[in-house]
């Protein structure tokens, strides 16, 4: 272990390098800019490429192209830039191109409060693109979790051939903490093919959930499109080719939920009140829970690290016998909606702020003690 005093954004950048990221394209935007600044220096040192693009649309397009060329690729942005990236995130999902998109959330809508925290992009992470497709989105609440979940984001992206979102926020991105950096991390590689070029089809999974992806330039000629496609990548309108693709793309996530769903539980057994939180708000929630327990309240705490796919079954089971489920978040109740689906609306008590201020432990404690 190497011990360092690190900022959240720098931990994200260093973790990306450790996970094998060798390409970054982005456009400066508060509060994510430190990721780009750090990688502009560090990527050339390890043989990687950094490009500052003209905007966020070009940035995600360059990342997709670099990934198809065989590089692990990432971009980082915040609210307005995340909105601009949505079309190409959908393209990456349709074409099954691995890439990592970091969204350091700030208060919105529009330009909003560029230097203030928020968690207002959580539903956009799931439903920002048009059409139906699964997505993986992770949310760290500390600098060390930022490091670990960035590594996980690359692993999931490569293993399941999909874009992965890291949904951090201004508080976590700009705080500095002592971090124990592991000597080795999980470096995942995308599935490879064992067939010669003339037998290769980029969307033929051969009974598996994830087809192998061979980089362009390796002698394997194939087509990529944002249209529904057949096994060779060319457009199709045949239902007997579209339906199996849809089923497989959903299945590659749904069949691996045990690996993808990350969360922590504390004191859930026997609890009468349950607090469910994520991101920077989880820090306030944890403090509120400790105070409540000192006052002899039976309070359980669940911290969500994977937001999408949503751990509905876990929450439904944890909430059995619980009277109240409290969901604090820096928006007007986006993840609370999903918690309500899982445990029942009558049980859920929201603690929400969307004014650029971090929710305090006192606000969450008041909700715990409310009768």
Q: How far apart are CA 286 and CA 303, in angstroms?
A: 9
pLDDT of the residue at 352: 98
Same fold, 2-181 and 262-369: yes
pLDDT of the residue at 54: 97
Question: What is each CA distance from 148 to 21, 188, 268, in whole angstroms?
Answer: 14, 14, 24
pLDDT of the residue at 67: 98
Q: What is the pLDDT of residues 90-140, one digit of tens each?
A: 999 999 999 999 999 999 999 999 999 999 999 999 999 999 999 999 999
Given a cut of 90, is residue 207 above it in pLDDT? Answer: no
Average of per-residue pLDDT across 338-358: 97
Question: Rg of the chain's alpha carbons, rounded to an integer?
Answer: 21
Average of per-residue pLDDT across 281-304: 98
Given a cut of 90, is residue 371 above it in pLDDT? Answer: no
Non-local CB neighbours of 277 within 8 Å, separated by 6+ positions: 141, 284, 285, 286, 301, 302, 303, 304, 327, 328, 329
Domain boundaries, the chain: 2-181, 262-369
Q: What is the pTM of this model?
A: 0.96
Domain 2-181 has CATH 3.40.50.970: yes
Q: What is the pLDDT of residues 40-60, one digit of tens each?
A: 999 999 999 999 999 999 999
- Asked which of 124-138, 179-193, 282-296 is least confident by mean pLDDT, the reply is 179-193
Average of per-residue pLDDT across 212-239: 93
Main-chain dihedrals φ then ψ at residue 325, nearest 5 degrees: -115, 120
Q: How far apart are CA 228 and CA 243, in angstroms?
A: 10
Indicate the CATH number for domain 262-369: 3.40.50.920
């Amino acid at each position: 272990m190497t011990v360092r005093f690190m900022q959240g954004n720098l931990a994200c950048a260093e973790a990306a390098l450790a996970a094998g990221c060798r390409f970054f394209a982005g456009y400066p935007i508060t509060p994510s800019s430190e990721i780009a600044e750090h990688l502009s220096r560090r990527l050339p040192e390890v043989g990687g490429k950094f490009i500052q693009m003209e905007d966020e649309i070009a940035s995600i397009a360059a990342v997709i192209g670099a990934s198809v060329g065989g590089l692990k690729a990432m971009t980082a942005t915040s609210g307005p830039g995340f909105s601009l990236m949505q079309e190409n995130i959908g393209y990456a999902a349709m074409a099954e191109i691995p890439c990592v998109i970091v969204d350091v959330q700030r208060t919105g809508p529009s330009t909003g409060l560029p230097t203030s925290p928020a968690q207002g992009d959580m539903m956009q992470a799931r439903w920002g693109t048009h059409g139906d497709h699964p997505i993986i989105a992770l949310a760290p609440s500390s600098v060390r979790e930022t490091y670990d979940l960035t590594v996980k984001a690359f692993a999931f992206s490569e293993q399941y051939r999909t874009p992965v979102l890291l949904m951090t926020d201004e508080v976590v991105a700009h705080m500095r903490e002592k971090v124990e950096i592991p000597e080795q991390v999980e470096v995942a590689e995308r599935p490879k093919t064992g067939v010669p070029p003339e037998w290769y089809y980029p969307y033929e999974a051969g009974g598996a959930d994830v087809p192998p992806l061979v980089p362009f330039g390796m002698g394997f000629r194939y087509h990529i499109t944002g249209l529904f496609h057949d096994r060779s990548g060319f457009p199709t309108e045949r239902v007997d080719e579209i339906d199996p693709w849809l089923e497989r793309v959903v299945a590659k996530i749904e069949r691996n939920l045990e690996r993808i769903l990350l969360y922590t539980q504390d004191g859930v057994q026997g609890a009468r009140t349950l607090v469910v939180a994520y991101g920077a708000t989880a820090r306030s929630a944890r403090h509120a829970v400790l105070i409540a327990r000192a006052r002899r309240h039976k309070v359980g705490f669940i911290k969500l690290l994977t937001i999408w796919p949503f751990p509905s079954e876990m929450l439904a089971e944890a909430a059995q016998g619980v009277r109240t489920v409290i969901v604090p978040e820096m928006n007007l109740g986006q993840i609370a909606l999903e918690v309500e689906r899982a445990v029942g609306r009558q049980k859920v008590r929201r603690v929400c702020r969307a004014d650029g201020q971090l929710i305090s432990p006192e606000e969450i404690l008041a909700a715990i003690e409310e009768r």
